[in-house]
Amino acid sequence: MPRPAKKTPRATGSKQSSFSKVALKDKQSEPDTRNLKIDKVGVRGLRHPVRVRDKARNVQDTIAVINLFVDLPHQFKGTHMSRFVEVLHAHGREIHVNNIGKILEELRTKLQSNASHVEMDFPYFIEKKAPVTGAVGLVDYRVRFDASSIGKGRDFVCSVVVPVTTLCPCSKAISDRGAHNQRSYVTLSVRFGKKPVWIEDLAAIVEKSASCQVYSLLKRPDEKKVTEDAYDNPVFAEDLVRNIAMKLDQHPDISWYRVEAENMESIHNHSAYAMIENKKYG
């Protein structure tokens, strides 16, 4: 008969558990003698699901590239990078914009900082109907949130990059046939007053100020109309930012704005640029 297998004595502890008892050096918390505070330290380029308000459908799910920063007091050698990700993931697989304030405060507490910053950059989709046929297509816009908590103060800036068409007034005035036009990108950044403004409404302010708005789906009757609309409404980059600024000056819920227009010139190898910034109150 075969001999019974010899029993191996049970280990009293695994390698992993013995490692966990070892005190690991915390280099970041060591003192620094250079006496220099750092304004921003943290992590950049985190991709994470987010949920934002959608005027037509209540909410929209998208993916954001997120940056998280705090200030670093002069006495610390470095920050703890893992804690930024811990704070973000503590709010679940999907971040709602209403959580930004909580994330800011948790960053300050967890990292013993006076200031914290959250930056979110994401694509946002708006359904648009072609002007004649009503054909439906989605147009993507780039949206950015910049939120900060410094001491007892809070700041929040919403930026939307809106593609539009502009037609050159000079080209139309001097040419016997046609006029050159171009795709233009307007970056509208705003601070809100007592209540926020829909992303869709910010985009609409820009689109109504251009020669023509852009669509993802156009049939031939639609193409005819948008081409003629652009020809009938020529604007320089300067006209574009002024048109937008006049609308923003009348808006009761916008306390500050910056409007930047960049025309991707079709007959030059450079862009045309204009910018207006205005603090309306205070």
User: What is the C-alpha separation between 174 and 180, in angstroms, rounded?
Assistant: 11
pLDDT at 181: 94
Largest CA distance in the chain: 109
pLDDT at 126: 98
Is the C-alpha dihedral spanning 130, 136, 139, 145 positive or negative?
Answer: positive
Q: Which residues contact 240 (CB under 8 A, 6 or more apart)?
A: 164, 166, 184, 186, 209, 210, 261, 274
Query: Residue 16: is its pLDDT beyond 80?
Result: no
Q: Are 206 and 164 in contact (CB under 8 A)?
A: yes
Query: Residue 60: is its pLDDT beyond 70?
Result: yes
pLDDT at 70: 95
pLDDT at 74: 77
pLDDT at 11: 47
150-194 pLDDT, tens digit each: 988 999 999 999 999 999 999 999 999 999 999 999 999 999 998
Q: Are 108 and 149 in contact (CB under 8 A)?
A: yes
Query: Residue 28: is its pLDDT beyond 70?
Result: no
User: What is the C-alpha separation between 255 and 205, in angstroms, rounded?
Assistant: 16
Q: Give how far the C-alpha of residue 10 lies from the chain's centroid of Cα atoms, to the nearest Å.
A: 56
User: What is the C-alpha separation between 164 and 229, in angstroms, rounded?
Assistant: 12
Q: Are 137 and 216 in contact (CB under 8 A)?
A: yes
When pLDDT is averaged across residues 136-162 and rounded to a whole number, the result is 96
pLDDT at 282: 46
Banded model confidence at residue 1, pLDDT cuts 50, 70, 90: low
User: What is the C-alpha separation between 31 and 253, in angstroms, rounded?
Assistant: 46
pLDDT at 279: 64
What's the CATH number of domain 30-120, 3.40.710.10, 2.170.150.70, 3.40.50.300, 3.10.270.10? 3.10.270.10
220-229 pLDDT, tens digit each: 999 999 999 9
- Residues, the chain: 282
Sequence spans of domains, the chain: 30-120, 130-282
How many Cβ atoms sit within 10 Å of the Cβ of residue 24? 7
User: What is the C-alpha separation between 191 and 138, in angstroms, rounded?
Assistant: 27
Domain covering 130-282, topology: Urate Oxidase (3.10.270)
Looking at every residue in the chain, the average pLDDT score rounds to 90
pLDDT at 31: 72
Q: Same CATH fold, 130-282 and 30-120?
A: yes
When pLDDT is averaged across residues 239-260 and rounded to a whole number, the result is 97
pLDDT at 95: 86
When pLDDT is averaged across residues 237-245 and rounded to a whole number, the result is 97
pTM (2 decimals)? 0.86
How many Cβ atoms sit within 10 Å of the Cβ of residue 108? 19
pLDDT at 155: 96
User: What is the C-alpha separation between 198 and 189, in angstroms, rounded?
Assistant: 13
What percent of the chain is modeled with pLDDT above 70?
A: 88
Name which residue leads in pLDDT, 93 or 135.
Answer: 135
pLDDT at 138: 97
Query: Residue 218: is its pLDDT beyond 90?
Result: yes
